Chains A and B, each alone.
Chain A
Amino acid sequence: MSELDKVRREMATVLQQVGVRPDPSLRITRRTFVHKSCLVGAATVAETFAWWPLLNTLDVAYAAEAPFKFAWISDTHLYPKSLNTRFVDKVVRAAKEVQAMSPPADFLIFGGDLAQLGKVEELELGVEILKEINIRKVFIPGEHDWYLDMGKKWGELFGQPNWTFDHKGVRFVGLDTVSRGPDYWTAKKMSPEERMGHMATLDGTVAGPWAGVGRDQLDWLAATLANWDRNRPVVIFSHNPLYEYYPPWNFWVRDWREVNEVLKPYTKVTNIHGHVHQVLYNEIGTMRSIGMLATSWPWPYAPEGVPKLTKPMIRVDPGDHFDGVGWEKIDVSAQDKVDVEYVMWRKQVLAQSPDDYAKSIPEVLRPRVADSMWPY
């Protein structure tokens, strides 16, 4: 049995015990997973995928003292304009659309990977573009923002990487899942650019399993939630998913067991995360996890381990920069429901038939070789 299989089995044993599910008040209903523009023909789609729970109308008991919306943008991976403007164009579009929301969103979460190589000019370009949005903005870091200067510039611009606030009956927590990578660079005398290069490679192996929350932040999380009613909703933002999803691409946090220990007592936990650049939905213990789109480019699904509750995107057209990407609106209604809407800029993005879904299935992939044959 491979190491990955062992982890998967352990995860299933620890987290997916019989009868444990997110609180029934967070029941998934039939609404909104299909983008509004896809609703024509939704009847047949719903029939095709009747066995596939549709994502994203979450019924939150005790939530929303008053209705509100918030927005999420992440994974913009900005290069300097001198190199290319395709990613810039999409962040500009997302910023305009968030600013145009009516009624306006209460706040914007930026979910990490603002920059591509962590450069000052990339981070500042992001700040400049997001100035268009006049509402409150809160940021969590991605690994691309961090590993050139170990978070120095990011901290100057956005402050503490983890934070918490309460808003209209919901406790929001921002977690830093990127800064606790093991030191693989000092002994090898890597330059900051080399270190960043390894972090910026999704399928790279030199950096090892870098994604994690860390003991001190776990303690902070436990303290932050200690005075919160266990039956009231908690929404946790993180760059990486808070459960095991395909470790070879670091689509996970390595201390998911400890994260689960802290969150287990709370019955209404929603984790909203970036990093995966794809539609993703999972339920782990009492927590639901929702993966968000990037504005930059879509990742393909991992060759194995995609949560079975995910209703996947189809493969996108690589010649169309606006295909398979976008941002999200999250609507907390007075009826205690949370709708997450994927604002996708192209319409045919969700699997419309088993034929579409099957497109990405039969691949068998191997990890790359160059890392192990390099001087590192």
Chain B
Amino acid sequence: MGMTASITCRFILFRAAPAVALAVLVGPAGAHKDPVTPQLLNSYQQVFMEQVRKGDLLFHGDAATEEAMGVVLSKTGMACAMCHPMTADTHPATFPKYQAQMAKFATLRDMINWCIEKPNQGEKIADDSDAMKALEAYIYWSQSGSVLNPGKF
């Protein structure tokens, strides 16, 4: 019993040195060493679905959510879902691509902002804003069975 413990201990010591060196380069040593529990995975999923839910409400023009997140996505009464029920015809799996309306190579975020500014006549949102992440989460989640096909016109 004692022998076994000793061997294990030495093994850890032997392995520890390069691991510490690597940890300095990539971040907290514990981050990838803690076992990922089902509870943890569930909490990650909950965080994601909360963003999907917020994005769904924004996409459907929910005024309270827009106000809470400090964005004005439309000034015409139009909402994203009026042209894109269940995000149909948003084709997130085809971005980035050349987008004819903008006459440029565009990301999905560029396209979201184009729709906010042009058809909806709302106010452009920042690429790293919470609202953009939520909209992106909802659109990708809605089409998560679609085949990735970047660049497809």
CB closest residue in chain B, given A321: B119
Of the four ranges (under 10, 10 to 19, 20 to 34, 35 or more), the interface on chain B belongs to: 35 or more
A152 at the binding interface (Cβ < 8 Å): no
**A363-B88 contact given A202-B81, A319-B118, CB 8 Å threshold:** yes
Q: Report A-chain residues with C-beta under 8 Å of the C-beta of B121.
A: 84
The answer, yes or no, to whether B136 is at the interface (CB within 8 Å) is: no
Alpha-carbon separation in the docked complex, A315 to B146 (Å): 18
Flag whether A116 is at the interface (Cβ < 8 A). Answer: yes
Cβ B60 vs Cβ A367 within 8 A: no
Known: A203-B81, A362-B146. Contact between A315 and B89, CB under 8 A? Answer: yes
The closest CB in chain A to the CB of B49 belongs to: A369
B37 at the interface (CB under 8 A from A): no
A198 to chain B, nearest CB (A): 11
Which of B86, B146, B147 has most chain A Cβ within 10 Å?
B86
| Residues of A that sit less than 8 Å from B by CB | 79, 83-84, 86, 116, 201-204, 248-249, 297-303, 315, 317-319, 359-360, 362-370, 373
For the complex, what is the distance from the CA of A104 to the CA of B53, rounded to whole Å?
51
Specify which of B57, B88, B153 is in contact with A370 (CB 8 Å cutoff): B57
A363 to B90, CA, bound (A): 9
Does the CB pair B86–A203 fall under 8 Å? Answer: yes
Expressed in whole angstroms, the minimum distance between the Cβ of B53 and any Cβ of chain A is 5
Chain A interface secondary structure, helix, strand, loop or mixed? loop
Is the CB of B142 closer than 8 A to any CB of chain A?
Answer: yes
B77 touches A364 (CB 8 A): no
25 A-B pairs in the complex with CB atoms less than 8 angstroms apart: A79-B77, A83-B76, A86-B76, A116-B77, A201-B81, A202-B82, A249-B86, A297-B83, A300-B84, A300-B85, A300-B89, A318-B118, A319-B118, A319-B119, A362-B147, A364-B144, A364-B145, A365-B86, A366-B143, A366-B145, A368-B86, A368-B142, A369-B56, A370-B62, A373-B53
CA distance A86 to B78 in the complex (A): 11
Residue B97, interface by CB 8 Å? no
Rounded to whole angstroms, the CA-CA distance of A79 and B121 in the bound complex is 15
Chain A residue contacts of B53, Cβ below 8 A: 369-370, 373
Q: Which of A202, A204, A363, A370 contacts B91 (CB 8 A)?
A: A363
- Asked if residues B87 and A365 are in contact (CB atoms below 8 Å), the reply is yes
- B142 pairs with A360, CB closer than 8 A: no
Contact residues in A for B71 (Cβ distance below 8 Å):
none
Other A-B pairs, 9, CB within 8 Å; known A299-B85, A317-B100: A202-B85, A298-B83, A315-B89, A318-B101, A318-B115, A319-B119, A362-B146, A369-B49, A370-B57
Check B86 against A84 for contact (C-beta < 8 Å): no
B129 lies within 8 A of chain A by Cβ: no
Inside 8 A of B98's CB, which chain A residues have their CB?
Answer: none
Q: Binary interface profile of B, 110-153, with partner A (CB < 8 Å = 1, else 0)?
A: 00000100110100000000000000000001111111010001
